[in-house]
């Protein structure tokens, strides 16, 4: 019925309630239905070596090869405090405005959930504050490890606009890692209290293999 209504394949978000008492009825609720995003899914991206990457993850969304990203907006791990997350969102928005004027896309790296409505789970960014991000990297910390909200409208918008997503878990090197020492050694173009804008002439080539949920960002 959904496919007929949308004239396309659909994805459905649902919830279930299964009582412990087997005599009580089980409940199944439809929460939302939307057209299945179709774009670069047929592209076969090959990743042969993760050791040469400064960032890799086995928890990704997307399927593409991003070749023209020369800028990174990154939250500074040395000054990050979850209590300052609304201010951090504003600072990211300021640097994002600069990229809008320059018509440049970027990689956005932050802690916890990006775009959350709860400031204690991550950075409460609006789409306007991160509109130039082409790749989003969510990094866990020892004191901040929320589950990614993969069923949200935020992530539907992310896939619909052909963005890429990386999740780097805390101290699970086989699932993902980020070389902070290398990243923070790069030239900083502009800096606020909590956020840095990094830029270099060579692009940060990014690959995401959607079949295997593997992504890398090359040095």
- Identify the DSSP state of 42: T
Query: In whole angstroms, what is the distance from residue 120 CA to residue 46 CA?
Result: 37
Q: Could you read off the pLDDT of 32-91 as tens digits, one per residue? A: 887 665 555 556 787 878 888 999 999 998 888 898 999 999 999 999 999 999 999 999
CA torsion angle 106 40 216 133 (round to 10): 20
Query: In whole angstroms, what is the distance from residue 217 CA to residue 219 CA?
Result: 7
Q: Mean pLDDT check: name the lowest of 162-166, 182-186, 213-217.
A: 162-166
pLDDT higher than threshold 60 for residue 147: yes
What does each C-alpha distance from 112 to 29, 147, 174 come to in angstroms?
A: 29, 9, 19
Question: What is the DSSP annotation of 89-135?
Answer: HHHHHHHHHHHHHHT--EEEEEESEET-SSTTSEE---GGGGTTEEE
Query: In whole angstroms, what is the distance from residue 213 CA to residue 74 CA?
Result: 23
Q: Could you read off the pLDDT of 6-28 as tens digits, one per residue? A: 777 778 889 999 999 999 999 99
Q: pTM above the 0.85 mark?
A: no
Q: What is the pLDDT of residue 11?
A: 80
Query: In whole angstroms, what is the distance from residue 184 CA to residue 146 CA?
Result: 24
């Amino acid at each position: 019925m959904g496919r007929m209504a949308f004239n396309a394949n659909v994805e459905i978000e649902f919830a279930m309630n299964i009582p412990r008492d087997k005599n009580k009825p089980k409940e199944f609720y439809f929460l939302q239905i939307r057209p299945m995003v179709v774009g670069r899914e047929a592209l076969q991206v090959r990743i042969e070596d993760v050791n040469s990457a400064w960032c890799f993850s086995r928890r990704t969304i997307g399927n593409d090869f991003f070749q023209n990203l020369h800028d990174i907006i990154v939250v500074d791990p040395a000054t990050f405090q979850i209590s300052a997350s609304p201010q951090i969102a504003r600072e990211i928005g300021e640097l994002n405005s600069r990229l809008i004027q320059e018509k440049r896309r970027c990689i956005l790296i932050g802690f916890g959930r990006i775009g959350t409505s709860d400031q204690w789970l991550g950075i409460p960014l609006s789409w306007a504050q991160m509109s130039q991000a082409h790749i989003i990297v969510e990094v866990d910390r020892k004191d901040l490890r929320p589950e990614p909200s993969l069923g949200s409208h935020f992530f539907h918008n992310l896939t619909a606009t052909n963005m890429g997503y990386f999740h780097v878990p805390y101290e699970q090197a086989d699932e993902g890692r980020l070389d902070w020492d290398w990243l923070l050694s790069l030239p900083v173009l502009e800096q606020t209290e909590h956020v840095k804008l990094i830029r270099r002439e060579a692009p940060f080539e990014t690959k995401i293999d959607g079949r295997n949920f593997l992504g890398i960002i090359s040095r």
